[in-house]
Structure 1
Amino acid sequence: MKSKNKKHLIITLCILVISIVTLVFSNINKEDEDLAVIAEKVNNTIIPKPINYKEAEGKFTLNKDTKIYVKGNTEEETTEITRIAEYLKGKLSPSTGYEFTIVKNEVPSGNSIYLTTVEGKEELGNEGYELTTTTDGIILKAYKPEGLFRGIQTIRQLLPAEIAKSTLVNNVEWSIPASTIYDKPEYAYRGFMIDVARHFFPEDVIKQQIDYAAQYKINRLHLHLTDDQGWRIEIKKYPDLTLIGGSTQVGGGPGGYYTQEQFKSIVQYAADRYIEIIPEVDMPGHTNAALASLAFLNPDGKRKPLYTGIDVGFSTLMTDSEETYEFIENVVKEISAISPSKYFHMGGDEADSTKKEDYDYFVGRVSKIVQKYGKTPIGWDPIDTAPEINSSTILQNWKASNEAAREKNMNMIISIASKAYLDMKYNSATPYGLNWAGYIPVETAYNWDPTDYAPKNLVLGIESPLWTENIATEDEMEFMIYPRLLGYSEIGWTPKSSRNWPEYKVRLERQGLRMENEGINYYKDKDIWKSK
């Protein structure tokens, strides 16, 4: 009897195991089937997703005789559009081998790409565009040249992924499906940040990251130029800031800094891609590099030791010293003179060694110094809690608490650490980055909206910061930025109602080959790029 019961139990357990295994595999197969159905319906790879995309019959194929026509409403505008056409030519010629002659102010014939602002709709704003592709050619129309530049990124993504290669590619048909696209951004501010203070990244590396980000319609790059571990921007009045403060980095490496000419070169390179560089000088905390460079910034009149660790909250400027404010004004004045951005980021976070009343006085006074030089101040929370800070200052919100900013009707850049920080690990196996705000897998990075944290009328846009305590190389930087920046670009550009993860996941998977062709060292999430 006992033997029969034992056999019966074994048989029951076997049936149960088989049932569980069958259920698991059927769910996996169902998920794959669902993705396959979604994939069939996704008729483009464009990221960020356009507001409206309608496919038509046929296609347009580039060939050696294809020309690019340009025409603006004024001669000045035509000149600007010509520069955009040169940029497009520079992106298409290496892989196709075609010359793409640029023709100004003529009516386009067939076999052409036409870039124009003539009769562009004002409702498109500065960045919107309309793109019409037929078998004869492409017409890209915008209200402003900036919109043409954004539309060009869509053209690039409609071509085969091999277009992203920098060498000649044979046996590829360079065709674009016939379609009409109407598109414009949801938010005016769509940015990312690179911390060049903890680890320094030279001019050419920053330019490369600007070029990569531009193709996803990012329009702001915030450079975190100063911190405890390094001062990275030349200030001619205080050469020791870079001579001493720029001489090291986290871990004691060689550091580095940008001369003012190098900074202007980065600014121009970004402007040519319609990206605005926003400089940040973090204060009153995160200031040890300055305190180690200039003795008069310290209460005892002696320079602090250089710092190469990653702790925060231990440094502060003297908030009751007129020499401090004279120093700040000189720094703001010099940087403002070489920075065309309307913004100046004054930091304001983690000032743990500054008393609250001193902090309040300091940020209120510094915001007025920034405004004196024609700039709009931006500050990290808790800057909004200071009584002298009002709606003339923008809050960069990273902690999710912004009650004071709401009460003051302050505009906000949403950068919630647990959703938007690019230095947070994807998972426990990620070799770089930190996890103090939690892990941020690719799906988590995509599945949120700025209006989860602030009223839409106060949201200026979104920014994803990359802090570099343990990000030391360009490869490591790209691994943490990509592919998450693509999702952040879509959150900033595409209305919430038009976004969903399963459909985005299909488009993102198709972007992988483009990133590989460009040489981007992106994180190949196995849930997205499954082995065949």
Structure 2
Amino acid sequence: MKTKKYLIVTLGLIGIYFVGLTTINNKEEIEVSAKVENTNNTIIPKPLSYEGKEGKFTVNKDTNILVNGNNKEETEEISKIAEYLKEKLSPSTGYNLTINKKESLARNYIYLTTLDGKSELGNEGYEIDITKDGVKITAYKPEGLFRGIQTMIQLLPSDIEKSNLVNNIEWSLPISKIYDKPEYSYRGVMIDVARHFFTEEEIKKQIDYAAQYKINKVHLHLSDDQGWRIEIKAYPDLTLIGGSTEVGGGPGGYYTQEQFKSIVEYAAKRYIEIIPEIDMPGHTNAALASYGFLNPDGKRKPLYTGTSVGFSTLMTDSEKTYEFIETVVKEISEISPSKYFHMGGDEADSTKKEDYNYFVGRVSKIVEKYGKTPIGWDPIDTSPEINSSVILQNWKDSNEAARKKNMKMIISIANKAYLDMKYNENTPYGLDWAGYIPIETAYNWDPTDYAPKNLVLGIESPLWTENISDIKQMEYMIYPRLLGYAEIGWTPKSERNWNEYKIRLEKQGIRMEYEGINYYKDNTIWKNN
């Protein structure tokens, strides 16, 4: 029997990591990983405060997850969060942890509670207290407990992200205290499923990945010139015809209303809100190809599989148009619990300005009729019919009208936040019309660079998919930039620093690797790639 032994000791800014002896023979390979691997420097987004001390708490097969809320309903909700945590820890540890509705144990516990949660934490803030006896996560609302769990998981060894059983590892967390809450209430990612369609399961996987970094909104761009992706029962040809293709002429696809509800429910368990978008009056060729009554000549337009923009428009002076829109908004609103409905509004180059102004004003009132807050891309704010009841999603560096109207804004500036922009000239996917966005550029900005803070609702990073055709390409463009966007939305500007962040980002690489995320391995950060 041949035996090889390796001893690796790494000293650096992150801390000291001890990697044990690995024994390999012709019958077995025993995996031994870092006993102590984590400090505050590895957490993304960066917490407001972290106080570390010597010592550790180790999770083992006998660790109990305790849950306790301010009432029966809250305790039940926390129990579901505990189930999520149990399922997350199980594959790599092999543990089937017990969940108990108790206030405390003397030792060996992970305690999730809203008892004595501070109102100043808001819905998403949390506190973590790790001692040698256990972990206590306290929040004002259950949502905060879910965010705190993501931080706790990042404090465990990175092997926790593996989907297979990992042997001979100590699942320890450093003794520490963390106080944390978000800077902005809206921290989103947008996925364009219209140019190229992505399945229910593919979207759910991205929801899981995003939740780890405290993203709380996933905006689905459900219609465009190339495809209509949501079933409308009153207008079945929207999906049968409009959903039958995509950029390049692929098979397209769509979500039934049941599938959409399944995505919404899946996301809600991760405290993520799904925001539906129906783009109009431009970006509407898929609808125009589905129903002739939406066109001036009463005939269906040909399906479109190219990537040009600005050529399509709904008839803004036709009552049939508004009857159609109201039915679409009504059906989607009935299956979408989100407080928001995104009505598009950009690149309506074939719509006269006065017609555009009237249209977006009237559609915003339809959206509000069904209890939703309208969101629209700029230049929706320039319409005299739009007021502060509408949220501007700002993708150009121009929002004077929104400022004057005191409109809330979601900041998505194209040359800083667009995930479909290439990292550099060698990026195999994506576009470059707004310029290259390397990881450092994606991190080194703030929403207040573009709007007064009192008007900033938050940040969203959109992925347009004109030439993003599969999940691996999608992940390559989203990751690792989404981690930086998540931190911009969560961590105050004064607490963010690129040189410090990239050290934490480098440590996240192995976690993404273990999860199977096809992230872009920038060799200035991951130097061994």
TM over 0.5: same fold? yes
2:168 equivalent among 166, 171, 181: 171
1:38 Cα deviation (Å)? 4.8
Match of 2:247 among 247, 250, 255: 250
Where in structure 2 are the equivalents of 1:159-238 lying within 5 Å?
Answer: 159-238=156-235
Q: Which amino acid aligns with 2:235?
A: Y
Matching residue within 311, 316, 319 for 2:316: 319
- 1:93 shift after superposition: 1.1
Say whether the 8 Å CA contact 1:279–1:344 is kept in structure 2: yes
Partner of residue 435 from structure 1, selected from 432, 435, 452: 432
Q: Is the 8 A contact 1:39 1:503 kept in 2?
A: no
Q: What is the CA-CA distance between 1:69 and the residue it aligns to?
A: 0.4
Bigger fraction of residues in helix: 1
On the 8 A contact 1:447/1:501 being kept in 2, the answer is yes
Letter in 2 for 1:115: L
Unaligned runs of 5+ in 1: 1-35
Determine the structure 1 residue equivalent to 2:21. Answer: none
Which of 280, 283, 286 is residue 280 of structure 2 equivalent to?
A: 283
1:475-499 deviation digits (Å, cap 9, x = unpaired): 0000000000000000000000000
Pairing 1:353–2:344 present = no
The residue aligned with 2:93 is 96
Please report how far the alpha carbon of residue 39 of structure 1 lies from its aligned counterpart in structure 2 after TM superposition.
Answer: 4.1
Q: Report which stretch shifted further, 106-115 or 462-471.
A: 106-115
Does structure 1 residue 470 correspond to structure 2 residue 467? yes
Q: Is the 8 A contact 2:226 2:245 kept in 1?
A: yes
Deviation digits for residues 317-355 of structure 1, max 9, x if unmatched?
A: 000000000000000000000000000000000000000
Question: Which whole-Å CA distance do the structure 1 matches of 2:347 and 2:245 have between them?
Answer: 22
Q: 1:44 is paired with a residue of what secondary structure?
A: helix
**Taking every aligned residue pair, what percent have the same amino acid on both sides?**
79
Deviation at residue 400 of structure 1 after TM alignment = 1.0
Give the distance between the partners of 2:429 and 2:54, measured in 1 at CA: 47
Match status 1:387 vs 2:378: no
1:42-73 Cα distance to aligned partner (Å, 9 max, x none)? 74310000000000121001111111000000
Aligned-partner Cα distance in 2 for 1:303–1:109: 70
How far apart in 2 are the matches of 1:388 and 1:362?
A: 9
Q: Is the 8 A contact 2:182 2:489 kept in 1?
A: yes
- One-letter amino acid of the structure 2 residue matched with residue 156 of structure 1: I
Per-residue deviation, 1:172: 1.2
2:186/2:217 contact within 8 Å kept: yes
Q: 2: CA distance between counterparts of 1:522 and 1:254?
A: 26
Q: 1:521: which partner in 2?
A: 518
Q: Determine if contact 2:479/2:518 at 8 Å carries over to the other structure.
A: yes
Aligned 8 A contact 1:281 1:345 in 2: yes
C-alpha separation in 2, matches of 1:299 and 1:340:
35
Tell me by how many angstroms 1:105 deviates.
Answer: 2.8
Counterpart mapping for 1:76-115 below 5 A: 76-115=73-112
2:283 pairs with 1:274: no
Residue 138 (structure 1) shift = 0.2
Inter-partner Cα distance in structure 1 for 2:174 and 2:13: 19
> Does 2:127 align with 1:144?
no
Any conservation in 2 of the 1:292–1:303 contact (CA below 8 Å)?
yes
Say if 2:223 and 2:277, in contact at 8 Å, map to a contact too: yes
- Quote the offset at 1:107 in angstroms: 2.4
Q: 5 Å matches for 1:493-504?
A: 493-504=490-501
Residues 365-384 of structure 1 mapped to structure 2, 5 A cutoff: 365-384=362-381
1:108 Cα offset (Å): 2.3
Deviations 1:379-420 (A, max 9, x none): 000000000100000000000100000000000000000000
Contact 2:43 2:151 in 1 (8 A): yes
Q: Is the 8 A contact 2:219 2:276 kept in 1?
A: yes
Task: Verify the 8 A CA contact 2:286 2:304 in the aligned structure 1.
Answer: yes
Match of 1:158 in 2: 155
Larger Rg: 1
SS at match of 2:42: coil
Residues 1:506 and 2:508 aligned together: no
Paired amino acid for 1:458: L
Q: Distance in 2 between matches of 1:327 and 1:105?
A: 53
Question: SS of the residue aligned with 2:289?
Answer: helix
Measured in 1, the distance between the counterparts of 2:259 and 2:464 equals 22
